[in-house]
Amino acid sequence: MIVSAGSPRGTFRDPAGSLHFEEARVLRYVRPAFVAEAESFLASPLTRKWMESRRMVATAITGREADGSLVLEHERIDYPTYPWEWTPGQWAAAGELTLDLCEEALSAGLILKDATPLNVLFRGAEPVFVDVLSFDKRKPGNPIWLAYGQFVRTFLLPLAANRYLGWPLAASIERRDGYEPSDLYPYLPLRRRWTAPLRSLVTLPHLLERKANAAASTGATPVHQQRPEIATEVLRGTLKKLRRTLRALTPPPRASRWSDYTTTASHYSAEDHARKAAFVERALAHAAPHRVLDVGGNTGHYSRIATAAGARVVAWDTDVQAADANWREARAKHEPILPLVANIARPTPAVGWQNAESLSLLQRSEGAFDGILMLGVIHHMLLIDQIPLPAIFDLVRRLTTRWAVIEWVPATDSQFQQLCRGRQDIYGHLDENAFLAAADQHFVRRLIENLPNGRSLWLFETR
């Protein structure tokens, strides 16, 4: 398990070692009893292949402590994320990577000893395995994957709950070790319980739970050793079955209320769209940011304008389907875009032991970007979340170290009127002067574009 940059204590759950962040460095300390195993793993051709292919975080041995602990230094992943911020496609991709590495490890006499989404981060749109202490030497005759149950609990059952019950993957923030079959069983319709893959994933394990608990109370059942080649094939069969189930649980891409917004918004004419895109291109060419946060990124139209200008992008959106479509396109095109399911008005909180294991969305984001896009976002924050303009710009200034491209939506706009919901007398006074007065506290105006539909676009630079 790995925590994000900035944790005051680093990791502490892994008996083999702990992870610490020292300014820009990511260091892992391996306890003496596990040093030989870690050195052997890092020196293996398989590990080098994984690191060269960027599927495993690049790692180097940098020294030894006085007590014999080994010191490793990892490549720093630009923007750490947690599974509860991922789209279903990202969740499944992390599961595929976990199974891929586990299966490839078998030929090298290794086995993955734990299998949780927390061992995976995203470098742009690509998953990368980050816990180099998760692999162990395998007993050749053992046909059992001990991490099987954890993979089911933390990868498969959350996806099943999401697909068949509509439970958001974000709910996993409260489920560090995933779901049990009995968590899902009562909520599944009778007919659904007996259809694949839920029959074997949820129903039978739930019905056999009492029997299994009774057996467990008498002590662990010894594993029957088999010939090494047979044990290996059994393990490969187990992984193949898990892969089929993972793919069956991954929802296909589908449209949502917002996933076609960029191309179908009725309050934008073709000229409005063209001039807006042209302004964003001009603003980003002027600013030349390296790291951009696209708030309300939707399916990534403006994120891609930012990458064309040379930036790496993190895109937040509250619409799961739009964010998933953005991620799928970014991965297919190898674009440096990391879409996340995130709400700027209700950011992911810090969780875990003493609220220090997993940092909040804002803790990971403040000062991490030199550019921010907020296009068609502020009126939602004003009217839905009731956040005052000065507070919005206070946060914008904390998120970007220099540039901000922001769209102002006037009170006469049809979308502003729709979100007002009869409260025009409360919010109708908010005009461009109020918007600029709030912006001027932190930013200098650099560029402006007034669209035919009455909206305005601004490039701001920090004071």
- Which of 249, 270, 303 is at the close of a domain? 249
In a domain, 417, yes or no: yes
CA distance linking residue 438 with residue 421, whole number of Å: 24
pLDDT of residue 215 exceeding 90, the answer is: no
pLDDT at 355: 87
pLDDT of residue 141 exceeding 90, the answer is: yes
Average pLDDT of the segment spanning 114-119: 96
Domain match, 302 and 359 both: yes
Do the Cβ atoms of 316 and 373 come closer than 8 Å?
Answer: no
In a domain, 2, yes or no: no
pLDDT at 224: 77
How many domains, in total, are found in the chain? 3
pLDDT at 253: 81
Domain match, 56 and 148 both: no
Average pLDDT of the segment spanning 102-110: 96
- Give the angle subtended at the CA of 193 by the CAs of 217 and 213, to the nearest 5°: 0
In a domain, 377, yes or no: yes
pLDDT of residue 420 exceeding 90, the answer is: no
Cα 357 to Cα 4, 33, 74: the distances in Å are 8, 25, 18
Whole-number average pLDDT of the chain: 91
pLDDT at 6: 41
pLDDT digits (tens, 9 = 90+) for 231-260: 999 999 999 999 999 999 998 887 766 556
Please report how the helices 45-52 and 88-106 are oriented relative to each other, as an axis angle in degrees rounded to 10. 150
Amino acid in position 217: S
Domain match, 63 and 92 both: no
Pairing of strands 25-30, 126-129: unpaired
Report whether the peptide linkage leading into residue 197 is cis, meaning its omega lies within 30 degrees of zero. Answer: yes
pLDDT at 404: 98
CA distance linking residue 115 with residue 89, whole number of Å: 18
CATH number where 297 lies: 3.40.50.150
pLDDT at 266: 61
Amino acid in position 435: F
- Describe the chain by its helix, strand, coil percentages, rounded to 5: 45, 20, 35
Domain match, 344 and 436 both: yes
Tokens of 260: 């076609």
In a domain, 385, yes or no: yes
Least confident interval from 45-54, 224-233, 438-447: 224-233
Tokens of 401: 């170290």
Domain match, 281 and 177 both: no
Tokens of 374: 């907020």
pLDDT at 52: 97
Least confident interval from 201-215, 223-237, 333-347: 201-215
Tokens of 129: 């395995």
Domain match, 281 and 307 both: yes
For 69, phi and psi rounded to 5 degrees?
Answer: -65, 145
Going by pLDDT thresholds of 50, 70 and 90, the confidence category of residue 421 is confident
Q: Which residue has 């402006």 as its token pair? A: 448
pLDDT digits (tens, 9 = 90+) for 290-331: 999 999 999 999 999 999 999 999 999 999 999 999 999 999
Do the Cβ atoms of 206 and 182 come closer than 8 Å?
Answer: yes
pLDDT digits (tens, 9 = 90+) for 334-355: 999 999 999 999 999 999 888 8
Domain match, 315 and 295 both: yes
**Residues shown for the chain:** 463
pLDDT digits (tens, 9 = 90+) for 255-273: 766 556 565 566 678 899 9
- Which of 215, 249, 283 is at the close of a domain? 249
Which residues lie below 8 Å from residue 100, measured CB to CB, with a gap of 6+? Answer: 55
Domain match, 89 and 173 both: yes
Do the Cβ atoms of 290 and 310 come closer than 8 Å?
Answer: yes
pLDDT at 361: 97
Residues above pLDDT 90, as percent of the chain: 79
Host domain of residue 25:
17-74
CA distance linking residue 374 with residue 400, whole number of Å: 12
In a domain, 223, yes or no: yes
DSSP state of 358: B
Cα 169 to Cα 39, 79, 367: the distances in Å are 36, 20, 27
Please report how the helices 88-106 and 320-332 are oriented relative to each other, as an axis angle in degrees rounded to 10. 50
- What is the secondary structure of 134-203 as a DSSP string? SEEEPPTT----TTHHHHIIIIIHHHHHHHHH---GGGGGG-TT---HHHHGGGS-HHHHTSTTHIIIII
CA distance linking residue 329 with residue 324, whole number of Å: 9
In a domain, 256, yes or no: no
pLDDT of residue 9 exceeding 50, the answer is: no
CA distance linking residue 399 with residue 378, whole number of Å: 15
Domain match, 268 and 298 both: yes
Average pLDDT of the segment spanning 441-445: 98
In a domain, 122, yes or no: yes
Going by pLDDT thresholds of 50, 70 and 90, the confidence category of residue 21 is confident
Domain match, 245 and 271 both: no
Residue 225 CB neighbour total at 10 angstroms: 13
Domain match, 100 and 236 both: yes
pLDDT digits (tens, 9 = 90+) for 355-408: 888 999 999 999 999 999 999 999 999 989 999 999 999 999 999 999 999 999
Average pLDDT of the segment spanning 45-70: 96
- Which of 249, 274, 295 is at the close of a domain? 249
DSSP state of 272: H
pLDDT at 69: 94
In a domain, 254, yes or no: no
Do the Cβ atoms of 21 and 7 come closer than 8 Å?
Answer: yes
CA distance linking residue 34 with residue 28, whole number of Å: 12
H helices present in 260-375, as ranges: 261-264, 270-287, 301-308, 320-332, 361-365
Kindly report whether the global pTM for this prediction surpasses the value 0.85: yes
Domain match, 151 and 291 both: no
pLDDT digits (tens, 9 = 90+) for 129-140: 999 999 999 999
Rg (the chain; Cα; Å): 25
Which of 459, 437, 134, 405 shows the shortest CA–CA distance to 292?
A: 405
pLDDT at 168: 96
